[in-house]
Amino acid sequence: MVNCAARLPKPILLMNLQRPSGRAPDQLRPITLERRFTRHAEGSVLVSFGDTRVLCTASVEEKVPGFLRGKGEGWITAEYGMLPRATQERTQREAARGGQGGRTMEIQRLIGRSLRACIDRAALGERTITLDCDVLQADGGTRTAAITGAYVALIDAINGLKQRRLLKRDPVVGAVAAVSVGVWNGVPVLDLDYAEDSTCDTDMNVVMNEGGGFIEIQGTAEGHAFRREELDALLVLASKGVADLCEMQRQALAT
Amino acid sequence: MVNCAARLPKPILLMNLQRPSGRAPDQLRPITLERRFTRHAEGSVLVSFGDTRVLCTASVEEKVPGFLRGKGEGWITAEYGMLPRATQERTQREAARGGQGGRTMEIQRLIGRSLRACIDRAALGERTITLDCDVLQADGGTRTAAITGAYVALIDAINGLKQRRLLKRDPVVGAVAAVSVGVWNGVPVLDLDYAEDSTCDTDMNVVMNEGGGFIEIQGTAEGHAFRREELDALLVLASKGVADLCEMQRQALAT
Amino acid sequence: MVNCAARLPKPILLMNLQRPSGRAPDQLRPITLERRFTRHAEGSVLVSFGDTRVLCTASVEEKVPGFLRGKGEGWITAEYGMLPRATQERTQREAARGGQGGRTMEIQRLIGRSLRACIDRAALGERTITLDCDVLQADGGTRTAAITGAYVALIDAINGLKQRRLLKRDPVVGAVAAVSVGVWNGVPVLDLDYAEDSTCDTDMNVVMNEGGGFIEIQGTAEGHAFRREELDALLVLASKGVADLCEMQRQALAT
Amino acid sequence: MVNCAARLPKPILLMNLQRPSGRAPDQLRPITLERRFTRHAEGSVLVSFGDTRVLCTASVEEKVPGFLRGKGEGWITAEYGMLPRATQERTQREAARGGQGGRTMEIQRLIGRSLRACIDRAALGERTITLDCDVLQADGGTRTAAITGAYVALIDAINGLKQRRLLKRDPVVGAVAAVSVGVWNGVPVLDLDYAEDSTCDTDMNVVMNEGGGFIEIQGTAEGHAFRREELDALLVLASKGVADLCEMQRQALAT
Amino acid sequence: MVNCAARLPKPILLMNLQRPSGRAPDQLRPITLERRFTRHAEGSVLVSFGDTRVLCTASVEEKVPGFLRGKGEGWITAEYGMLPRATQERTQREAARGGQGGRTMEIQRLIGRSLRACIDRAALGERTITLDCDVLQADGGTRTAAITGAYVALIDAINGLKQRRLLKRDPVVGAVAAVSVGVWNGVPVLDLDYAEDSTCDTDMNVVMNEGGGFIEIQGTAEGHAFRREELDALLVLASKGVADLCEMQRQALAT
Amino acid sequence: MVNCAARLPKPILLMNLQRPSGRAPDQLRPITLERRFTRHAEGSVLVSFGDTRVLCTASVEEKVPGFLRGKGEGWITAEYGMLPRATQERTQREAARGGQGGRTMEIQRLIGRSLRACIDRAALGERTITLDCDVLQADGGTRTAAITGAYVALIDAINGLKQRRLLKRDPVVGAVAAVSVGVWNGVPVLDLDYAEDSTCDTDMNVVMNEGGGFIEIQGTAEGHAFRREELDALLVLASKGVADLCEMQRQALAT
C-alpha cells in the first residue's frame, strides 16, 4: 500500500470541502472498542464509530449446523439487529413484525462471510461461534462498525478457547476490519456518518484484512454511476481507514 | 405503610440466612438509573438492578392505534426484548425465530399496563408513547427493572412534550416502580437475582405506585403453594422495595 | 380459613350493592362441570361459570418435550383457544391470523403452571398430558373456568392411567381451582361476569389449592391502584370461592 | 329424482353387507340440529351426524371485503377449525402451528362456496356473514355436517336481519345440504363414519340444493378408480341423503 | 366408454354455439408436451393447453416423509406455483406474502392425489418423487394441464430409475390425465379457457385413468346448480377429452 | 475503456488455462434474450447465459408504495425466485417454507437498485414497474442474467407506456447490464458458470451502465483475500463483458 496515495486522482480532492462533522476527507470518526461490555458472552465488545454504537458478542457453542456435522470443521456465523429506537425515528421491532427484513439479512450475511475469512475452520474444530451485532445507536456505518467490533469479540472468544486448551492450533489467520467510503458532494470521503450517508452519490463498504487484501467490496451508486477514477480513489481511502482500524483492534486486544 | 413491618411474621425470618449475594433479606441490589443513554429517543434510560441491565427508551409518535382514533386520548405501550447473549447460554433471536414468544408477550403486556396506570391518557392527547425495554444483560428481575427504568424514560419524554408546550395539563398521575420478592430457602427476600430466582419456592412481581397502592401483583408458587402469612410478608418486603425505588427515580429525575 | 370472614374490612361492603346479575358480592355464578362431554379425549369436561362455557380436554401422550427426555419425569401443559364467535363481536381466528396472540399465550401459560402445581411429575412418568381449553361461549372469567374444569379433566385422565396400571404411585398432590375477584363500584365481589369485568376498578385471578394455599395471584388495577385493605378483602373472597369450587370438583368426580 | 332408484346397478348391492354401525347402505346416521347453542352469534347451531359434532355460528358484520366495496353486494364466507382433541389422537392446534393447513383451507373454501350458492348477494346488501364451523368431535363427514348445519345458522342470521327490517327482499334462493357417499367393501353407502371412511375405496362429498340440483361434487378414488356405474349409484344415494337432510333442516327451522 | 355418446342428452347441444376460441364444444385446445425442457430434473415437461403453459418437473429423492419411514413404500407428492405475472394482472408472490394460499394448497393436494393413483408405492421403494408444477402462463385449466404434464414427467423419472436398475418391478399401474369441462352459455363444453372459465355456470375438473376410470371429480356450480343431465353430459365430454390426452401422453413418451 | 486491457496485469493470465466450458478467460457464455416469452406482462424476456435461464417480466401498475404517494415519482422494484428444480438438487420452495430467504432478498434488492439506476423516476410518473425474475434453470450467474434480462423487459414496458402516450418525457437515462467475474485457478475469468463459481477463489458481480460507469460492485473473497491487482483485472474483464451485453440488449430491442 506504499504507493496508493500517489494514485489518488488529484482533481477530485477539494481543499475547501466542509464535512458536516468538520472531519478531513480521509479522517475516521472517533473509534472506541470497549471489551467485556457484558459478562456472559465469551467475547463482548461495544464498538463506537462516532455516534454509531454496536454491541458485538461472540458466543461459543459446541455444535455445528447440520451441513457440517461430522466433518471436523467449525462454523462462524453472525446475526444483526437494531434496537427499535436506535434510529432517529422509531423503527418497528423485527420480532414483532414476524421476521427479519431484507436489509437485516443482507447485513448479517456480510458480517458472517467477513469473519469467516479470518478463521481456519478446521483448526476451530466442531464448534460454532455466533457473532450477535446489535445496534444500540445508529448514525451511519453500522455494518462496518459491527464487523470491526465483532472481530475483537471473536478473538476474545478464541483466546478463551486457547486458555482452556481446547484448540490444537491457532484458527486465526488474519485480522479483519471494515469501513465505508463514499463520494459526498463530489469528494471521496472516509467513514460516512448518517448526515453524509443519506445525501451521498456513491456508497461503498469495504472489508479488508490487515495485509491490505480485500475480503468484501460492496459499492452502490446512489445518484449517478461512478467512474473508475472515483472507484480507485475510494479504494485508497478504504485501505487507509482499515489499516487504522486494524491498529486500533490490536491496541484494544493488547490491554 | 407505617405498621407494615410489625405484621411481618417473625418465625419465618432466619437470622443466619446467607443470600448468594451476601445481601440482607430486605436489601435491594445496587440500583442505577442512567438517563440519556442514547440520544435519538425522547427518553432513554439504562437501568441496572445489580448485573441486570435494561435499556429503556421512550418514543413519542403523533398517532394512536385504530381503536383510539378520534377519541382524544393517547396510548402508552411497551415492547420487550432480550439480546441473544444477555443470558448465560445464548438464546435464539426472536426475529430470526419468526415471532415473539409467550414469555416476551406476557412481559411486555405487563410493562404496558403498569405504565398506563400512572398516566391520564386524555391529558396526553392523541399520541402514542412506546417504551422499548431491551435487556442487555440478564441476572434475574428483568421485568421489574424494565418497569422501573421505563417510568424514568417516560417522564423524560413527557417533560419534552411539556417543554415544547404540547400538553394542556400534566398527564402524570403518579410514579410507578416494580420489584420482585420471593421465598428463598424458606425466607422472604427482596429483589431476587438469577441465582435465587432459579431456586426459589415462590416468586412474585409487584408493581406499585409511590403512594403504596398496588398496580399489578403476579405471584407464582414454583415449589409449593404459599400460605397467606408468606404472601403478607412478601407484600411488606415489596412495599419497602418499591418505596426505595421510587425515591431513586426521584433522585435520578432531579439531576 | 376459619377466621377469614372476620378480617373482611367492614366499611367496604355496601348493603345495597346491586350486581348486574343480582348476585350477592360473595356469590359464585351457577357452576356446572359436565364430564365426558366428548368421547375421544382421556378427560373431557364442559365447565360453565354462568354463561361462560369452556370445553377442557386432557390428552395423554407417551412422550415428553425435548428438555425432559430421559429424566423420568412427565409434563403437564395447556393450550387455550377461543372460538371466533364465543364473544359478543366476532374476533379473528388465531389460526387464520397466523399465530397465537399475547393474551392467549399469557392465559395458556397460566393454566399450565397452575395444573403442574398439583402433580408430582416424577410419579407421572415420561408422558405428557395436554389440557386443551377452548372457550365455546365467553362471559368473563374464561381462564378461571378453564383451570377449574381442566383439573377435573386431568383427574379423569390420570384415573384412566391408574386403571390401566400404568402408574406406580399416585401423581396427584392436591386439587386446584381458580376464581376471579374484583372491586366493582367500590365493592369487592366474587367471580366477575363480563358486565362487571369490563367496568371494574381492580381485577384479580386467584389460583389456589384445596388446602387454601396460593398457587397463582394475578391482580391488575384497571382504574386506580388498590390499597392493601382491598387486596386483603379480595383474597378472602377468593379463598371462599375456591373452597366452594373445590367442593364442586369433588362432587363432579364422585359421580 | 323419481326414477333414480331404478338406475341403481343391482349387482353392487350386497344383501348381507354389515356396516360397522349396523346401518343400511342408504341410511343416514342420527342427525340433530340444535339451534341457539351459543348466545352471542346471530345464528348458532350444533349439528350432529352421529358422533360427529360441529358448532356452526353465523356472524353478521356490516362490512364487505375490499374487492366488493361499493358494489352493493354482500359476502358469505366460512372458516373451519377442529379442536385439537376432536380426533382420536390429538392433532396440533393450527394457531400454535402458525397457520391453517391445506386440508382446513380446502374445506372452508368448500363450505363458503356451498353457502354462497343459496344466497342472492345483491339482496343481502353490503354486509358479510361469516360461518365459523368448529368441530367439537370428529367421526367422519365433518365437512358435510358443517355445510348442513351452517345453512341453518345462516338462515337464523338472515331471519334476524329480516326482523330488524334491514333487507329489502329475501336473499335466500334455496336450501343447501351435503352428505358423503362412498364405496365401502364394494358397496355404495351413504354418510360414511370414520370407521368406513378410513377403509373405503371411493369417497365423495356431494352438496346439493333442495331441488336436487348439484352445487359441488368432490369425489376421490382412494383405492382404485371408480367406474361410471359406481358414480351413478353414489349420486343416487347422495340425492336421497340430501333430500332427507333438507327435510330435517326445514323441521329444525320450524321449531 | 362405448355407449357414452349415445347417452349425451340431445337438447342441450346448440348447433350454433360460438366459443370465444372458435372451438367445437368437444374440442380440446392445441396440446403440446415438451419433454426435457430443463436439464437438472429427472423428468421435466413443459405442457401447453393453448395459452396455458405449465412447467412440470419430477424430482427423485432417496428418502420418504416421516410417516412412511421403514415401511418399504415410496411417496408421490406435488407442489404448485404460479409465477406472479403468469396472470393478466400481476398477483402477489406467495413466498413474499409469507405462505401458500388456500387455492394453491387445494390444487397441489389434488395433483398429488391424482398422481399417487397411478403408482404402486410399494414397487417404488423408499423414495419420494416430487412433482413441481409451476405455471409460466395462465389461461384457464392450469390444474388439469399440470396433472397431464406431471404424469409425463413422472414416467420419465421412473424410466430413469428403471434404467439404473433401482426398481424390482414396474410401479406404474396406469396413465392419468385431467381436463376441465363446464356449462358455458348453457352448453357443455370441453377444456375451458380463461374467457369461458370466468363466465361459465358450472365448472368441473375430471381426473381419469386411461381405462376410463374416475380418479377425481371436482364440480362447482358457479351460477346455478346443475342438473343430473348436465352432469352426465359433462362426464361424457370429460371422458372423451381424457382419452385424447392419454393418447397424446403416449405419443410424447414414445418420441 | 480504451486503455483498460493495457492495465491487465500480465503474470496472472495463464496461456494454457482450460476452463470447464472450454471458453477463453474473457469469453461470455452464449447469450440469448428472447422477448415476448409470455403474453400477459408488459415486458417478458427469457434470458439465457449458457444454461442459466431466467424469465424476467415487467409489470406496470398505476400505484406507488406508501412512502412515495403524492410525490409525483414512480418506483422500480424487483422480486427474484428460483423454481425448486432449477438447481441440480431440488431446493425447498420458498412459499412452502413460509418466506423468502436471505439470499433471495439480497438478490432482489440488488436487481431493484440496479434497474432504478437507469430510470428517471420523476419522468415515470406515479406508477410502479415490478420486475419478476424467476430462474427456470440455474448454472451460475442467475443474478447477473436477471439484471441483464430485466433491463430489456423494463424497456419493453416503458415503450408500451410511450406508445399509449402516458409519459411526458423519456424516463430511461441509460442502459444497465451485469456480469460476474472471478479468479478461478488463479486466473481472472469472465461470466462464471456453476462449475467455476463453486470452486473459484474470488467472485464479483458487477453492474454497469452502457457508458462504463459502475452501478454496483459486489465482490467476495471465497478462498483468500484478493489483491488490488486482481481487483483491477476483474474490473477490466467486467467492463468488457458488460459492454458486450449492452450491445446484445440493443440488438434484441431493435428486432
pLDDT tens digits in sequence order for chain C, 255 residues long: 223 333 344 444 445 668 999 999 999 999 999 999 999 999 999 999 999 999 999 999 999 999 999 999 999 999 999 999 999 999 999 999 888 998 999 999 999 999 999 999 999 999 999 999 999 999 999 999 999 999 999 999 999 999 999 999 999 999 999 999 999 988 999 999 999 988 888 899 999 999 999 999 999 987 788 899 999 999 999 999 999 999 999 999 998
Q: What is the pLDDT of residue B16?
A: 60
Q: What is the pLDDT of residue C9?
A: 44
Q: Which residue of E has its CA nearest to F108?
A: E96
Shortest Cα distance from B51 to chain A (angstroms)? 9
- Quick one: cell of B67? 381503536
Residue with cell 333442516: D249
C164 — contact with chain D (CB < 8 Å)? no
* Beta carbons of A105 and F108 less than 8 Å apart: no
* Beta carbons of A132 and B85 less than 8 Å apart: yes
Residue A121 is assigned to a structural domain of this protein: yes
D224 — contact with chain E (CB < 8 Å)? yes
- The confidence band for D16, taking pLDDT boundaries of 50, 70 and 90, is low
Nearest-by-Cβ selection for A209 from F102, F208, F225? F225
- Euclidean distance between CA atoms D148 and D143, whole angstroms: 9
Q: CB–CB of B53/B137 below 8 Å? A: yes
CATH number at residue F248: 3.30.230.70
Distances (CA, A) of A42 to B51, B201, D117, D196, F150: 16, 31, 65, 61, 47
Helices (H), C117-209: 121-124, 142-163, 194-197
Nearest-by-Cβ selection for C109 from B102, B117, B216? B102
- Euclidean distance between CA atoms B232 and B9, whole angstroms: 8
Residue A17 has pLDDT above 80, yes or no: no
Extended beta strands in F50-111, E state: 52-61, 75-82
User: Mean pLDDT score of chain B, rounded to an integer?
Assistant: 92
C105 — contact with chain B (CB < 8 Å)? yes
Residue E10 has pLDDT above 70, yes or no: no
**Average pLDDT score over residue span A103-131:** 96
* Beta carbons of C217 and B227 less than 8 Å apart: no
Q: What is the pLDDT of residue C16?
A: 60
- Quick one: cell of D126? 353490503
- Quick one: cell of A215? 475480503
Q: What is the pLDDT of residue A95?
A: 92
- Euclidean distance between CA atoms F29 and D191, whole angstroms: 63
Residue with cell 424476456: F45
* Beta carbons of B214 and C215 less than 8 Å apart: no
Neighbours of chain B (3+ CB pairs under 8 A): A, C
Beta bridge partners of D204: D181, D219
**Average pLDDT score over residue span F149-178:** 97
* Beta carbons of E106 and D101 less than 8 Å apart: no
- Euclidean distance between CA atoms E235 and F3, whole angstroms: 73
- Euclidean distance between CA atoms E14 and E188, whole angstroms: 9
* Beta carbons of F228 and A215 less than 8 Å apart: no
Residue B14 has pLDDT above 90, yes or no: no
Q: Is A36 annotated as a binding residue?
A: no
* Beta carbons of D93 and C84 less than 8 Å apart: no
Residue E17 is assigned to a structural domain of this protein: no
- Euclidean distance between CA atoms F202 and F186, whole angstroms: 9
Q: Is A142 annotated as a binding residue?
A: yes
Structural domain for D197, as ranges: 31-84+102-254
Q: What is the pLDDT of residue B198?
A: 85
Neighbours of chain E (3+ CB pairs under 8 A): D, F
Q: What is the pLDDT of residues F33-59, one digit of tens each?
A: 999 999 999 999 999 999 999 999 999
Residue B60 is assigned to a structural domain of this protein: yes
Which of the 8 DSSP states describes residue C30? P
Cα-Cα-Cα-Cα dihedral sign, residues E10, E15, E16, E18:
positive
* Beta carbons of F83 and E134 less than 8 Å apart: yes
Helices (H), chain D: 94-97, 102-116, 121-124, 142-163, 194-197, 228-254
**Average pLDDT score over residue span D205-232:** 92
Question: Position E240: which residue type?
Answer: K
Q: What is the pLDDT of residue B222?
A: 74
Q: CB–CB of D131/D60 below 8 Å? A: no
Cα F143 from chain centroid (whole Å)? 5
Q: Is E65 helix (H, G, I), strand (E, B) or coil?
A: coil
Q: What is the pLDDT of residue C200?
A: 83
* Beta carbons of C225 and B213 less than 8 Å apart: yes
Distances (CA, A) of D230 to D7, D186, D227, D233, E7: 11, 9, 5, 5, 16
Extended beta strands in chain A, E state: 31-35, 43-49, 52-61, 75-82, 128-137, 176-184, 187-190, 202-209, 214-221
Nearest-by-Cβ selection for D40 from C41, C57, C85? C85
Chain D residues with beta carbon closer than 8 angstroms to that of C40? 85-88, 137-138
Question: Position D105: which residue type?
Answer: M
Nearest-by-Cβ selection for A59 from B44, B85, B97? B85
Phi, psi angles (nearest 5°) of residue A74: -95, -175
Q: Is D206 helix (H, G, I), strand (E, B) or coil?
A: strand
Of the residues B90, B127, B131, the best mutation for testing chain A's interface (the one with the most A CB atoms within 10 Å of its CB) is B90
E117 — contact with chain D (CB < 8 Å)? yes
F231 — contact with chain A (CB < 8 Å)? yes
Chain C residues with beta carbon closer than 8 angstroms to that of B92? none
- The confidence band for A98, taking pLDDT boundaries of 50, 70 and 90, is confident
Which is nearest to A181 in space by CA: A46, A11, A19?
A19
Residue D37 has pLDDT above 60, yes or no: yes
* Cβ count within 10 A of residue D62: 10
- Quick one: cell of D225? 378408480
Residue F13 is assigned to a structural domain of this protein: no
Neighbours of chain F (3+ CB pairs under 8 A): A, E
Instruction: Please give the helix or strand (H or E) that residue D129 lies within, else none.
Output: strand D128-137
Q: What is the pLDDT of residue A14?
A: 47
Nearest-by-Cβ selection for F94 from E39, E84, E95? E95
Which is nearest to D145 in space by CA: D226, D225, D84, D86?
D86
Residue B10 is assigned to a structural domain of this protein: no
When comparing pLDDT for D62 and A222, which is higher? D62
F98 — contact with chain E (CB < 8 Å)? yes
Q: How many CA atoms lie within 13 A of E129 on its CB side?
A: 36
Q: What is the pLDDT of residue B224?
A: 80
Nearest-by-Cβ selection for D40 from C38, C41, C88? C88
**Average pLDDT score over residue span B111-139:** 97
Note the pTM of the prediction, 2 decimals.
0.87
Q: What is the pLDDT of residue F70?
A: 92
**Strands D52-61, D128-137: pairing kind:** antiparallel
* Beta carbons of C228 and B235 less than 8 Å apart: yes
**Average pLDDT score over residue span F155-175:** 96
Which is nearest to A205 in space by CA: A191, A224, A223?
A191
Q: How many CA atoms lie within 13 A of D14 on its CB side?
A: 11
Which is nearest to F235 in space by CA: D13, E56, A234, A84?
A234
Residues 6+ apart with CB under 8 A from D116: D76
* Beta carbons of C132 and D84 less than 8 Å apart: yes
Which residues of C contribute to the annotated binding site for phosphate?
103, 141-143
Question: Position F226: which residue type?
Answer: F
Residue B73 is assigned to a structural domain of this protein: yes
Q: Which residue of E has its CA nearest to D221?
A: E215
**Strands E128-137, E75-82: pairing kind:** parallel
Q: What is the pLDDT of residues F60-110, one digit of tens each?
A: 999 999 999 999 999 999 999 999 999 999 999 999 988 898 899 999 999
- Euclidean distance between CA atoms B195 and B81, whole angstroms: 21
Q: What is the pLDDT of residues E50-75, one digit of tens each?
A: 999 999 999 999 999 999 999 999 99
**Average pLDDT score over residue span F156-163:** 98
F105 — contact with chain E (CB < 8 Å)? no
The size of chain B, in residues, is 255
Q: Which residue of C has its CA nearest to B239?
A: C228
Residues 6+ apart with CB under 8 A from C158: C124, C129, C167, C171, C172
Q: What is the pLDDT of residue A16?
A: 60
Which is nearest to A248 in space by CA: A50, A23, A53, A34?
A34
- Euclidean distance between CA atoms C251 and C247, whole angstroms: 6
* Beta carbons of A225 and F213 less than 8 Å apart: yes
Q: What is the pLDDT of residue F4?
A: 30
Q: What is the pLDDT of residue B98?
A: 84
E218 — contact with chain D (CB < 8 Å)? yes
Number of domains within chain A: 1
Q: What is the pLDDT of residue F16?
A: 60
* Beta carbons of B213 and C231 less than 8 Å apart: no
A113 — contact with chain F (CB < 8 Å)? yes
Neighbours of chain A (3+ CB pairs under 8 A): B, F
Shortest Cα distance from B84 to chain C (angstroms)? 19
Shortest Cα distance from E94 to chain D (angstroms)? 14
Q: What is the pLDDT of residue B201?
A: 82
The DSSP secondary structure of D190-201, one letter per residue, reads: ES--HHHHTT-S
Report the interhelical angle of E228-254 vs E142-163 (nearest 10°). Answer: 40
Q: What is the pLDDT of residues A146-180, one digit of tens each?
A: 999 999 999 999 999 999 999 999 999 999 999 99
Cα-Cα-Cα-Cα dihedral sign, residues D149, D151, D156, D161:
positive
Residue F134 is assigned to a structural domain of this protein: yes
Q: Is E142 annotated as a binding residue?
A: yes
Q: Which of B:2-31 have CB within 8 Å of A? A: none
E62 — contact with chain D (CB < 8 Å)? no
- Euclidean distance between CA atoms F145 and F107, whole angstroms: 12
Residue B132 is assigned to a structural domain of this protein: yes
Nearest-by-Cβ selection for B90 from A38, A59, A138? A59
* Cβ count within 10 A of residue A238: 26
Shortest Cα distance from D135 to chain E (angstroms)? 19
* Beta carbons of B55 and A136 less than 8 Å apart: yes
The DSSP secondary structure of D137-165, one letter per residue, reads: E-SS-HHHHHHHHHHHHHHHHHHHHHHTT
Which is nearest to F133 in space by CA: F52, F78, F208?
F78
C217 — contact with chain D (CB < 8 Å)? no
* Beta carbons of B220 and C216 less than 8 Å apart: yes
* Beta carbons of D136 and C38 less than 8 Å apart: yes
D204 — contact with chain E (CB < 8 Å)? yes
Residue B12 has pLDDT above 60, yes or no: no
- Euclidean distance between CA atoms F160 and F252, whole angstroms: 16
Burial class (CB in 10 A: 0-12, 13-18, 19+), A169: exposed
